[in-house]
């Protein structure tokens, strides 16, 4: 019986560590995931701006729109990232739509 009491706390700790590791893997952002896949910095910046604009557009009427017009015309990677971010991001609360 004393062996069983020693094993339970060990299993508890192992289970807790496993859960923490699993949850920490879920905390990476979309930006981090795209960077890990090798996307260029201008694309990532455009993606962030487009995503911010999409989320803001769902919450307000036209305020907070974030886009660098000069970069949109001069840097194809920024423009592609912005368009992808705007199309793919969404607001967690669907009531905004």
Other C-beta atoms within 10 Å of 37: how many? 7
Sketch the domain layout of the chain as residue ranges: 1-28, 39-92
| Between residues 89 and 91, the one the model is more confident about | 89
Q: Distance (Å, rounded) from C-alpha 44 to C-alpha 78?
A: 7
Per-residue model confidence (pLDDT) at position 36: 87
Stated pTM of the model: 0.61
Q: Distance (Å, rounded) from C-alpha 72 to C-alpha 86?
A: 13
Per-residue model confidence (pLDDT) at position 13: 64
Query: Which residues are within 8 A (CB) of 61 and not within 5 positions of it... i.e. 6 or more apart?
Result: none
Q: What is the pLDDT of residues 41-85, one digit of tens each?
A: 999 999 999 988 888 876 666 566 788 899 999 999 999 999 999
Per-residue model confidence (pLDDT) at position 79: 95
DSSP 8-state code for residue 95 = G
E runs forming strands in the chain: none
């Amino acid at each position: 019986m004393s062996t069983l009491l020693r094993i339970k706390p060990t299993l508890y700790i192992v289970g807790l560590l496993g859960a923490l590791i699993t949850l920490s893997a879920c905390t990476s952002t979309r930006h981090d995931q795209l960077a890990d896949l090798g996307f260029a910095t201008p694309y990532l910046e455009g993606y962030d701006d487009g995503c911010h604009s999409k989320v803001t557009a769902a919450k307000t009427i036209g305020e907070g729109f974030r886009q660098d017009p000069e970069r949109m015309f001069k840097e194809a990677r920024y423009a592609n990232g912005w368009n992808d971010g705007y199309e793919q991001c969404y607001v967690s609360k669907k009531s905004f739509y």
